[in-house]
Each structure stands twice: as structure tokens, then as C-alpha cells.
Amino acid sequence: MTDSTDGTVVLGAGLTGLSFAFHYGTGTPIYERESEPGGLVRSLLVRGCSFDLAPHLLHLRSEYVRKLVFETLGLEAAQVERKARIYCDGRLISYPFELNLHGLSEQMREDCLRGLDTIAPHGPEHDAELRTGSYEDYALNTFGAGISRHYLLPYNRKIWDTPPRDMTCEWMRFLPAADAGKIRRSAYAPSDEAFGYNSAFYYPRRRGIRELPDAFAQRLPNIHFNKEVVRIQTTERCVHFSDGTSVHYEKLISTLPLNRLVALSDLPQSAQRAADLLEYTTVYTINMVVRGAVPEGVHWIYFPDPEYTFYRISLPKNFFPRATPGDEQILAVEVGCRRDGHDWSALVSRVERQVRDLGVFDLDGHCFTHCEKLPVAYCIYDKQRTPVSTALLHQLASLGIYSTGRYGTWEYSAMEDAILHGKTLAESLRAGG
């Protein structure tokens, strides 16, 4: 890792921007809007409680990233076996839904199995073909009407705030193929088989998820904080900041949301109109600090039922004992909607009432609520997403602007992918790509 002296500039000190500079040249200048590194992967200390901006868990598949994080960066983290639940049919069942039908009422379980009996036989080799249509078609054709109706469709409708018939399956690369035989075998008795990319995760031991970006930042001496971009001149290759300063570049690495990057630039109106077609959800995290009993050892709970405003509640104290200073619990309640469409005060009141009335938690007291909002959280995979994002990325690259990361490429991905995005782009540019 050598210092960068070739006019390369990075916008954003989130994981992708940090990883890019780490792999490209530790002296590469990074300009960050906030006063600390991490982007959305930050933890805040409020009244002695540690809150992530939104629940972030480190799932690792890449051996390279594993060695980078734990050996090179020296991150100390606990490895945790996932214990997730779904609140459905008036009860908590284990995740994933389709492999835990035994936890449902007999009526709902049999409805799910009848739906499975109606689909055409297929194996994993057919999964790619089945994923060429809408997500609704995929769910119905691979899991049947019952599983789709009771869990897959309502849950995904809620988290993406988009009808599943309007979504493609391109976001599903994390999800394994449906296995009808395994579903039937586990319908009447628990299975001990691990499932999914997130069957285990890591979480830092001391200060929350912020320890991961901090470990990168300690090795990068050229990060400039409190630098909010207000304008990008693509012809002059100049970035202007809200404090009146500016910086010229030869190559600009942007981790800003793709639609925001285009809006800040002087690209023609055709590009601006295209960027406006990119849809996304805003996620509101309502952290209720409470006293009382929560499901023992459970890390998060999914809520597919449309009756509830939220799609997930995480219980960080169950995997991060330092989340609160005493015996308090944090209920990190997540609500998503298109383009920042909720009124805060009404939303918080509604969520707090629904949580109290759930019957899942035996609460003795409500200490306080701390709220955070991710303005751009999930990039929606509708039919416009791929052609629009691809065209914009090519247009920007032709001007020496490389938009990367989860939001820079407008994708659904995890922290590990953010690190790999930065590494891959750094290596490509160093090789003359």
C-alpha cells in the first residue's frame, strides 16, 4: 500500500471508500460529510446505550475479507450462531419460515404443504431460469401459494415497500434455491441444518459496529471530515464543498448514492431524469430502551403480517452485552417506506403502541426512545433499476467518475461486499482499468 499521488479522490468514508483507499494507497484523500468515519456503519452512544444507525451484522463468506478484518486490521469480534424468529400465526417460529412449518398451527402448515404440492417439480439447476421473472412469480412457482401468501410475499412487500409482482429477482443472490424435499421433511419436526448466508455472524466486542470502520480509518491518515459535497463540475473535474473549499481530481471515487451523485453533478437533464427513476426505501429505526423480559437469546424477529407497521425487531443486547449499561434491553424496530414517506412523531407513537400490544415482550418499563433514519436504505429492484443504473455508471466512468459500493452501484449487498467493492475497484484502477 503506497501513497496515492495521481489525483485520485474519494467521496465518502464508509466501508467502500475506506477499503478503496486502503487497497489503492493509504495516502489517498477521502472527503466525508460526517465528523467520523463509517457512513451508515456507525454506532452512537446515547445516555449510556450503544445504537447502530441501523442493525448491522458482519457476515463473512470471503476468506480474504476474514483475514483482512481479523488479522490485518485486528478487529476483535464475537462469532454468534444466528437465532432468528418469525412472528406469524400468533406465535414465534424459527427462521427460515419454509423449514419450520412444524411451528405453525395445523391449518396454516397444511395450507403451506398443499401449495407446495401444486407446483411443478424442479431442482436447483432450474432456479436460475425461475428467477428471470418477477419475485412474485418466483415465490409462487418455487414455494407454492401457501408459503408465499403467509410469509414470502407479505414480508418482502413490507421491507421493499413495493408489490412483489413489480420486483425482479436480481437482489436474490444471497438466497439459496428452494428445496421442496427439505421443506416437506422439516414440516413435522425441527431440522438442525444451517440455512442461508447469515446462519452465523460476527459483532465487535467493545464499542459496536463502528469498530470496523475505525479499524480501517486508523491506517488512513488523509481523511477530511465535515466535507459535504454541494457541486461536482465534471468538465473541470472539481468537487465543491459546503465550507467553500474545493478539490480537483483526475479520478473521482464516489460512494454517494447514485441518484444523489448525479443530482450534484452537471450531467445533462437526460441523466438527471434517469436518476430520478431509481427507487429506494427510507428506513426508520425506532430504538426503544425498555426493562423487562425479551425472548431469551433471540437476535431478531421478522414480522410479515401487514397489521404491524414494522418488518423487523432486533434485540442487540442478546449479541452485544454492552449495548446498555445495566439490565435494560433495546428493541431496535425497523420500518421502511418509499422515499421518506413517514411523519416521525405519528410513526413513533404507532410503533410504540404496537410493540406494547404484541404480547411477545414482557415489559416492565419504557426508559426512552432513540430514533435514527437512513434516507436511502434499500435500492429497489424494479424493471428500471438495471438499465438505468448501468447507463449512468457507464456515463460517469467515461468522465473519470467511478461510482461504487452498495449505493454507488444501486444494489442490495452487505458489509463484506462493500469492502470487496473498494478492493476490486482499487486493483482495477491500479492495473489501468
pLDDT digits over 274-311, tens only?
Answer: 999 999 999 999 999 999 999 999 999 999 999 999 99
Model pLDDT, residue 196: 59
DSSP assignment, residue 409? T
Between CA 168 and CA 195 the distance in angstroms is: 23
Do β-strands 238-241 and 229-233 pair in parallel, antiparallel, or remain unpaired?
Answer: antiparallel
Percent of residues, the chain, with pLDDT higher than 90: 89
One-letter amino acid at 393 equals L
What does the pLDDT look like over 402-413, one tens digit per residue?
A: 999 999 999 999
* Average pLDDT over every residue of 171-200: 81
Average pLDDT, the chain: 94
8 A C-beta contact, residue 335 and residue 351: yes
User: Which domains, from first to last, does the chain contain?
Assistant: 8-44+208-277+383-430 (3.50.50.60), 84-185 (1.10.3110), 280-379 (3.90.660.20)
Q: Report the phi/psi class of residue 244: left, alpha or beta, with left for phi > 0 and alpha for psi in -120 to 50.
A: left
Helices (H) and strands (E) in the chain, counts: 14, 19
At which residue does the C-alpha cell 489503492 appear? 24
Closest by CA to 32, choosing from 214, 280, 266, is 214
Between CA 326 and CA 193 the distance in angstroms is: 35
Q: Which three cell numbers stand for residue 112?
A: 403451506
Q: Which three cell numbers stand for residue 147?
A: 408459503
Between CA 11 and CA 265 the distance in angstroms is: 13
Specify the 3-state DSSP secondary structure of 80: strand
8 A C-beta contact, residue 392 and residue 258: yes
How would residue 432 be classed by pLDDT, with cut points 50, 70 and 90? confident
What does the pLDDT look like over 319-346, one tens digit per residue?
A: 999 999 999 999 999 999 997 777 888 9
Specify the 3-state DSSP secondary structure of 342: coil
Beta bridge partner(s), residue 291: 365
* Average pLDDT over every residue of 111-124: 88
Between CA 224 and CA 403 the distance in angstroms is: 19
